[in-house]
Amino acid sequence: MSEEHYLELCESPVQFENASAVNNVFFDEANKQVFAVRSGGATGVVVKGPDDKNSIAFRMDDKGEVKCIKFSFENKILAVQRTSKSVDFINFIPEYPHLEFSQECKTKNSSLLGFCWTNWNEIVFITDQGIEFYQVFPDKRSLKLLKSQSINVNWYMYCPETSVILLSTTVQGNVLQPFAFKNGTMSKMSKFEIELPAVPKPAKLSLSERDIAVATIYGQLYVMYLKHHSRTANSPGAEVVLYHLPREGPCKKTHTLKLNTTGKFALNVVDNLVVVHHQSSQTSFIFDIKMKDPDSTLNIHLPVLPPWSIHPYKIPLTGPVAVAAQAPVSCELYSSTWSVFQPDIIISASEGYLWHLQVKLQPVVNLLQDKGKLMDFLLRRRDCKMVILSVCSQMLIKGDKGNLPVVATVFDKLSQVYKEYLEAEQSYTTAVESGASRASTVHKRPVRTQAVIDQSDMYTHVLSTFTERKDSSHKFVIAVLMEYIRSLNQFQITVQHYLYELVIKTLVQHNLFYMLHQFLQYHVLSDSKPLACLLLSLESTYPPAHQLSLDMLKRLSTANDEIVEVLLSKQQVLGALRFVRSVGGHDNISARKFLDAARQTKDQMLFYTIFRFFEQRNQRLRGSPSFTPGEHCEEHVAFFKQLFGEQALMKPVTV
């Protein structure tokens, strides 16, 4: 069963003292820190972040019940809200005095709903009458108001990744006004209205912050609205409506996620997937907004996978060594005491745990049967490489010709991502080279994600092992290799020679020389020097490979020297000489190299022919058949005299 749990809680949660009558627990969404405040801080405050090395412990005076407590970035300044009128600050910067200072809301008779740090020294107060943006001066222990905006506020929500605060306004609360913060500036974004399922009469607050979440999905900011349908007989169930919130321009309703059930829900975003937890059924739905029904013009999505529960989690027992043998206790999943925060955090205050929710990709492989959809899904996930490669390997095991269209689809999806990365890399290189003089332009190198699966990945993890399998028909093996090469060619990706070598070795292994000959003849296998050398090595098994190799080297035109070396090494001295003459290089070649090769054949007539050729060349170029001292042919001249006598040497021809 556990193989089908595609969601799990992280193995190493942040542990803190559980909530109790004397211990209040707070969570800061910006720094992802949990604050355990005992007795208003008088008996200690312990702060734990995602990395336990950052845990901080301190005490502060008990000046009343703590409503909210957060550190600024890098834990430089602590802010504590105890009343609905002001926020207290404590310096944690080593060189500044560890003293408290306070700031009241500027707006008269307003009630402070909360605050958000937007930088290490910038803070926003949200009141029921608007927002106030301050700069904090820890050295002077004071604040300066940078900007404020009056607006009636019901509640607020903060997205730390984008520094956007969302305010719920109007009587019904369904008009949302976002503000963006960056480097000391506050900008008002386009307000938008959430469509309510029913308008109450008389008007009252109808949109709760429980039904709204803000998160970044695929690099874009979305407001997610959990829309509960009225409980009528024909009710289609709840849905999650996504509103895309751009930095500039209007906010638009872009996606609808159909839940087809009712009840209590909570939202997370994990690896760009929207996860909807359903408490009563104790299951979770996952949605991928990039996967849509091609027949649907509207962006209406159904869950990608069947709803399933989070993988069971065991809480390890801590305590004296005596109880170490006791089995860990199962954690109650989907508990009513759970608090869910964006993007991927689940907190159990009663048990003292903070988990990150994670997606497991391996179980998805068995749940998504359509390989094309599966590949689309996997390519968008963070740690996808090894899972994709294993899917490719599994797909080829016991495969047959009927499976080829599926194989082709998968290869094309991989090649497309690979090509997009290569183009981005090329554009970056070109921009850097051409823009070297324009220092003002900053070029960002494209990030190579795990979805970029290149030829060496496919060769190492899939194709080389696949060709060695004994249970696959050689025809299918060759068809698969050629399908991958076709896919690379289709996306105009240069095929690496080792893939061609794999094809040739497979063909030779099964004595399919006629097919090899055709592949080379019709240039299915692209010319390269390594390939030509491989063909030469096959000459003993398949004699025509020698000529095929020479033809290939000749087509490469940059490989003339290699061809000559290859022919000479095979003692085909006349063949080498004919080749040099055919490409017009015979006036520049080394006489000694050819005479050396001719002597090694121990064929006296061949030596005579080669010697006479160079004598004639000398006569034509210099007017004398003799070799110059620079050619270092003295021993060959002596050998010629020894064999054929001095009278056999060519006499100078005078005109």
Beta partners for residue 142, in sequence order? 137
Q: Is 72 part of any domain?
A: yes
Give the mean pLDDT of the chain. Answer: 85
Residue pLDDT, tens place only, 395-426 = 888 665 568 899 999 999 999 999 999 998 88
Averaged pLDDT for residues 334-363: 89
Considering the domain architecture, whether residues 116 and 178 belong to the same structural domain is answered as: yes
Query: 544: cis peptide before it, omega within 30°?
Result: no
- Whether pLDDT at 596 is above 70: yes
Considering the domain architecture, whether residues 28 and 110 belong to the same structural domain is answered as: yes
Q: Are 255 and 269 in contact (CB under 8 A)?
A: no
Q: Is 141 part of any domain?
A: yes
Instruction: Strands of 261-420 (E only): list them.
Output: 265-270, 273-278, 283-287, 300-301, 314-315, 329-330, 338-341, 345-348, 353-359
DSSP 492: T
Considering the domain architecture, whether residues 573 and 456 belong to the same structural domain is answered as: no
Of 146, 161, 192, the last residue of a domain is 192
Of 458, 473, 495, the last residue of a domain is 495
610 closest CA partner among 585, 637, 588, 645: 637
Residue 235's pLDDT band (cuts 50, 70, 90): low
Q: Is 198 part of any domain?
A: no
Residue 322's pLDDT band (cuts 50, 70, 90): very low
Backbone φ and ψ for 403, nearest 5 degrees, come out as -85, -10
Of 140, 163, 192, the last residue of a domain is 192
Q: 52: domain CATH number?
A: 2.130.10.10
Q: Is 502 part of any domain?
A: no
pTM of the model: 0.80
Considering the domain architecture, whether residues 78 and 129 belong to the same structural domain is answered as: yes
Considering the domain architecture, whether residues 26 and 51 belong to the same structural domain is answered as: yes
Considering the domain architecture, whether residues 243 and 343 belong to the same structural domain is answered as: yes
Q: Is 465 part of any domain?
A: yes
- Whether pLDDT at 227 is above 80: yes
Considering the domain architecture, whether residues 456 and 579 belong to the same structural domain is answered as: no
Residue 562's pLDDT band (cuts 50, 70, 90): confident
Give the 3-state secondary structure of residue 524.
coil
Q: Is 89 part of any domain?
A: yes
Q: Is 572 part of any domain?
A: yes
**Could you tell me how many residues make up the chain?**
655
Considering the domain architecture, whether residues 39 and 178 belong to the same structural domain is answered as: yes
Considering the domain architecture, whether residues 117 and 259 belong to the same structural domain is answered as: no
Sign of CA dihedral 640, 642, 648, 651: positive
Beta partners for residue 359, in sequence order? 7
Considering the domain architecture, whether residues 258 and 281 belong to the same structural domain is answered as: yes
How much of the chain, in percent, has pLDDT values that exceed 70? 92
Considering the domain architecture, whether residues 233 and 264 belong to the same structural domain is answered as: yes
Residue 319's pLDDT band (cuts 50, 70, 90): very low
Q: What is the CA radius of gyration of the chain?
A: 38
Residue pLDDT, tens place only, 616-650 = 988 888 888 889 888 888 999 999 988 888 888 88
Q: Is 320 part of any domain?
A: no
d(CA 46, CA 34): 8
Q: Are 348 and 322 in contact (CB under 8 A)?
A: no
Tokens encoding 550: 């020479």
Considering the domain architecture, whether residues 461 and 565 belong to the same structural domain is answered as: no
- Domain hosting 469: range is 368-430+450-495
* The one-letter amino acid at 46: V
Number of domains in the chain: 4
Helix residue ranges per DSSP H, 356-473: 362-367, 371-379, 385-396, 404-434, 455-458, 464-468
